[in-house]
Amino acid sequence: MRIMGLDFGSKTVGVAISDPLLITAQGIEIIRRKEENKLRQTLARIEALAAEYEVGEIVLGLPKNMNDTIGERAELSLTFKEKLERRTGLPVVMWDERLTTVAADRVMMEAGIRRENRKEYVDKIAACLILQGYLDARKK
């Protein structure tokens, strides 16, 4: 069994998968959609990836506000969680993702990725950070 990590954005979903031993997270793709409300193909792709990688659980980033409140973006993530659970039949755990995009940006800067190219990778790296944080917390 593996765990899938998702960074749900307005037009993209970054996807990461754990190794079979549940130690490390690897980014696998960014799912893109033309409109924010068009989720059918996104859900179908996540379902296909979950089957391909034999996923038993999904971790979804919860973008809380810095003061620990739930804003509009977090509400959309909670709605997406319900759709994911219905579509895949898998448990979906919400994971605080505050500052993951900032951390992903820092990782790319340190790796020497040019600023104009960072948008290509940020969601996948953020998904890795969400999943890795969850995996590390599970060990404790």
pTM of the full structure: 0.88
Give CB contacts under 8 A, 24+ apart, made by 68-74: none
**pLDDT tens per residue, the chain (140 residues)?**
999 999 998 889 999 999 999 999 999 999 999 887 789 999 999 999 999 999 999 999 998 877 877 878 889 999 999 999 999 999 999 998 876 766 777 777 777 777 777 677 778 888 999 999 999 998 87
Report how far residue 38's alpha carbon sits from residue 127's, in angstroms, rounded to the nearest whole number. Answer: 20
| CATH 3.40.50.360 matches 2-139 | no
Report how far residue 12's alpha carbon sits from residue 124's, in angstroms, rounded to the nearest whole number. Answer: 10
Q: Which residues, in sequence order, are bridge partners of residue 29?
A: 15
The domain ranges of the chain are: 2-139
